[in-house]
Amino acid sequence: MDTQYPETDNKSAIIRLFHVSKRFGAQAALTDVNLDVENNEFLFLTGPSGAGKSTLLKLLYLADTISEGQILLKGMNLSRLPKKRLPFLRRDIGVVFQDYKLIPTRTVYDNIALVLEVAGANGKFVKRKVSHLLRTVDMEHKAGAYPQSLSGGEQQRVAVARAICGDPDIVLADEPTGSLDAESAKVIMDLLSGIHARGATVLVATHDEALLKNTRRRIVTLKQGCIVDQGF
Amino acid sequence: MRPIFYLRQALDDLWDNKVLHGLAVSTISLIFLLAGAFALVFLNVSQLMTVQQDNVRMMVYLKGGLTAPDFGLIQQAIEKTNRVRSASFVSKAQALERLRESMDHQAGLLEGLSQNPLPDAFEVVVSPGSGGWEGVKMTAAKIEGISGVDEANYGQAWLEKFSMVASLARMAAMALGSLLLVAALSITANTIRLVLYNRRDEIRIMELVGATNGFIRASFYIQGMIQGFLGGIVALAILAVVFFILVAGLPTQELLGRFQFHFIPMGYCLLGLVLSVAVGAAGCHLSFAQFHKE
Ligand SMILES: Nc1ncnc2c1ncn2[C@@H]1O[C@H](COP(=O)(O)OP(=O)(O)O)[C@@H](O)[C@H]1O
Ligand SMILES: [Mg+2]
């Protein structure tokens, strides 16, 4: 545990951001963001396009480096994480990418199995787990299909299955309902609620007002890289 | 499971990029073929130089004005010299006779001579054993030290030239070999780089879902090594086939007597294959170094 930066001793927070800023050249994408995410919380991150939602998630799944400040993830300071540890930390984080990021040359089945293969799981386990997940996201009939042949909703379901198949502690979803009709969107949100119910911490970045209506979850609003509101 | 996964991935990649890999394998095998041919020629020529050494003929020419008792003493001295197997006297008259016979139709030219210009000589057979040409050289020096001997000739001028050419060729082979190795290395590196480039999105995704560098690289190393191995084995096969066809067609018996052409020894063949696999791995390593800089 890093003792230098925490301003409050919040033991139950799984993700902690301290004065986090991210700049792309002169462009500030995030400015002085402070945020604690509780263990097993389901949190929405919202705000207009360009507010910095994706950037924040990218910092969390270590696809980009922080310009200023510190992020603690499960007690680990990301700025001081040895490069060798990086893949192992990433296995604890499931990500649903805005553009799905499915591998076009691999089947639906292989796209999901990859996460387990990467972690060195044995073949029987992979088969069992992936088949189970394909049933969960109702895609078992498309196991051998390639991503290009799927609809947006189907691709998103595969992306969610891949994000949760390693049983991660943390699931980050970037606009998971972005281009989907209401029905497909509900399927996706139910899947994310399911993994949350099983103990994962879930962060969903979205500007989809429909998702935010009538939710009891905490909503953090970003605007031009700053947190302007957070509440339920 | 892991090795099978990597191997499958590597084979998939080889198949998906078969034209690229095919070109690389052909070029690499051409390079190894060139190196192998050079080695083959070199090995056989140096073998040719050693194989006949167990019977080196030497002409020992004597000074003029010697008498029969002198010849006997000289013969005894020669026969006592280390490594000499036999020494037989060839008088200048015999020598002239031989010359006349060998000149055949032109023998008439010799009729005009008022005096025999040839020296008396001994025909000496030396068996150098393990001493090699160095031993022959020492024996010749000893014989030349015997009083009455003018000079011992075993074709040393020619040999000296040959050994100089041989050592030059050895150096050239080293230089050429290194150059070819660098060429093979850069071909592998560039091929793997292209495959890496084709798969860069996928590699990025693999990183994001928690793949270690080792996991991502393993299949590429396997590809590089398979590529190198194929290059090496194709070169070896072509070399062997061409060699045995050529040798079977050559009238070796007439040309070189007991000498037989030899293919590159098994050990060296294996060494070459190991080298070709190593080149594949090293080329792969280079392209990763490049890939991570970008
Ligand atoms: N790789 C990048 N290079 C330069 N600017 C970027 C990059 N990624 C994001 N930005 C900028 O950072 C700001 C926040 O972007 P982003 O996090 O994608 O917003 P959101 O996801 O909320 O729409 C935007 O102004 C965007 O242009
Ligand atoms: Mg975004």
Identify whether the C-beta of residue B122 lies closer than 8 Å to the C-beta of residue B88. yes
Q: Which two tokens stand for residue B230?
A: 């194929």
Confidence (pLDDT) at B123: 92
Confidence (pLDDT) at A77: 94
Confidence (pLDDT) at B258: 62
Q: Around ion ligand 2, which residues have CB less than 5 A away?
A: A 54
Cβ-Cβ contacts under 8 Å, B207 against chain A: 87, 90
Tell me which range, A57-66, B36-45, B197-206, is most confidently predicted by mean pLDDT: A57-66
Q: Do A118 and B209 touch (CB under 8 A)?
A: yes
Q: For residue A21, report the distance from its CA to the centre of ligand 1, in Å.
A: 13
Which residue, among B209, B212, B213, B292, would best test binding to A if mutated, counting the most A CBs under 10 Å from its CB? B209
Q: Closest residue (by CA) to atom 14 of ligand 1?
A: A52
Whether B210 contacts chain A with CB within 8 A: yes
Confidence (pLDDT) at A189: 93
Which residue, among A117, A155, A164, would best test binding to B if mutated, counting the most B CBs under 10 Å from its CB? A117
Residue B200 — φ and ψ, nearest 5°?
A: -65, -35
Judging by DSSP bridges, how do beta strands B56-62 and A226-231 pair with one another?
unpaired
Confidence of residue B252 (pLDDT cuts 50, 70, 90): low
Mean pLDDT on A177-184: 86
Whether A168 contacts chain B with CB within 8 A: no
Confidence (pLDDT) at A2: 43
Cβ-Cβ contacts under 8 Å, A114 against chain B: 206, 209
Does residue A60's CB lie within 6 angstroms of at least one atom of ligand 1? no
| One-letter identity of residue B238 | I
Identify whether the C-beta of residue A85 lies closer than 8 Å to the C-beta of residue A101. no
Widest pairwise Cα distance in chain B: 103
**For residue B119, pLDDT beyond 80:** yes
Q: Which two tokens stand for residue B267?
A: 């050990």
Kindly report the number of other CB atoms within 10 A of residue B10's CB atom. 20
Nearest CB neighbour to B210, from listed A63, A118, A123: A118
What ranges do the domains of chain B cover?
A: 2-51+160-293, 53-155
**For residue A1, pLDDT beyond 50:** no
Q: For residue B270, report the distance from its CA to the centre of ligand 1, in Å.
A: 56
Mean pLDDT on B15-32: 87
**Where do the DSSP E strands lie in chain B?**
56-62, 84-90, 121-126, 149-153
- ipTM of the shown complex: 0.89
Kindly report the number of other CB atoms within 10 A of residue B253's CB atom. 10
Identify whether the C-beta of residue B191 lies closer than 8 Å to the C-beta of residue B230. no
Question: How do residues A162-173 score in pLDDT, each as one tens digit?
Answer: 999 999 999 999
What is the distance between the alpha carbons of residues B205 and B218, in angstroms, rounded to a whole number? 16
H/E stretch holding B64 reads none
Q: For residue A204, give Cα distances in angstroms to A51, A94, A176, A189.
A: 14, 12, 8, 10
Confidence of residue A44 (pLDDT cuts 50, 70, 90): very high
Identify whether the C-beta of residue A205 lies closer than 8 Å to the C-beta of residue A56. yes
Whether B208 contacts chain A with CB within 8 A: yes
What ranges do the domains of chain A cover?
A: 40-54+86-220+227-231
Does residue A52's CB lie within 6 angstroms of at least one atom of ligand 1? yes
**For residue A133, pLDDT beyond 90:** yes
Q: In what order do the strands lie in the sheet with A13-24?
A: A27-38, A13-24, A68-73, A76-77
- Smallest CA–CA distance, residue B199 to chain A, in Å, is 10
Q: For residue A95, report the distance from its CA to the centre of ligand 2, in Å.
A: 13
Whether B1 contacts chain A with CB within 8 A: yes
Which CATH number is A40-54+86-220+227-231 given? 3.40.50.300
Mean pLDDT on B28-55: 79
Lowest-pLDDT range of A93-107, A169-183, B45-59, B146-160: B45-59
3-state secondary structure of A91: coil
SS (H, E, C) B123-142: EEEECCHHHHHHHHHHHHHH
Cα–Cα–Cα angle for B36, B280, B276, rounded to 5 degrees:
20
Confidence (pLDDT) at B254: 60
Architecture of the domain made up of B53-155: 2-Layer Sandwich (3.30)
Mean pLDDT on B217-221: 90
**For residue B162, pLDDT beyond 80:** no
Mean pLDDT on A174-196: 91
**For residue A8, pLDDT beyond 70:** no
**For residue A96, pLDDT beyond 90:** yes
- Smallest CA–CA distance, residue A203 to chain B, in Å, is 17
Identify whether the C-beta of residue B125 lies closer than 8 Å to the C-beta of residue B86. yes
In sequence order, which residues have a C-beta less than 8 Å from that of residue A165 and are 6 or more positions away?
A94, A112, A115, A116, A129, A130, A133
- Percent of chain A exceeding pLDDT 90 equals 78
Work out the burial of residue B246: count CB atoms within 10 Å of its CB; fewer than 13 is exposed, 13-18 middle, 19 or more buried. Answer: exposed
Distance of alpha carbon A185 from its chain centroid, rounded? 16
Q: Tell me which of A27, A65, A175, A223 to substitute to probe ligand 1's pocket, judged by most ligand atoms within 8 Å of the beta carbon.
A: A27
| One-letter identity of residue B228 | G
A116-123 own/partner pairs: CB under 8 Å, 24+ apart: A116/A165, A116/A166, A117/B5, A118/A87, A118/A91, A118/B206, A118/B209, A118/B210, A118/B211, A118/B212, A118/B215, A119/A91, A119/A166, A119/B210, A120/B2, A122/B1, A123/B1
Cα-Cα-Cα-Cα dihedral of A97, A103, A109, A110, to 10°?
Answer: -120
Q: Closest residue (by CA) to atom 21 of ligand 1?
A: A54
What is the distance between the alpha carbons of residues A201 and A14, in angstroms, rounded to a whole number? 8
Confidence (pLDDT) at B256: 61
- Smallest CA–CA distance, residue A166 to chain B, in Å, is 9
**For residue B276, pLDDT beyond 70:** yes
Minimal-distance CA residue of chain A relative to B4: A123
Identify whether the C-beta of residue A159 lies closer than 8 Å to the C-beta of residue A101. yes
Identify whether the C-beta of residue A40 lies closer than 8 Å to the C-beta of residue A201. yes
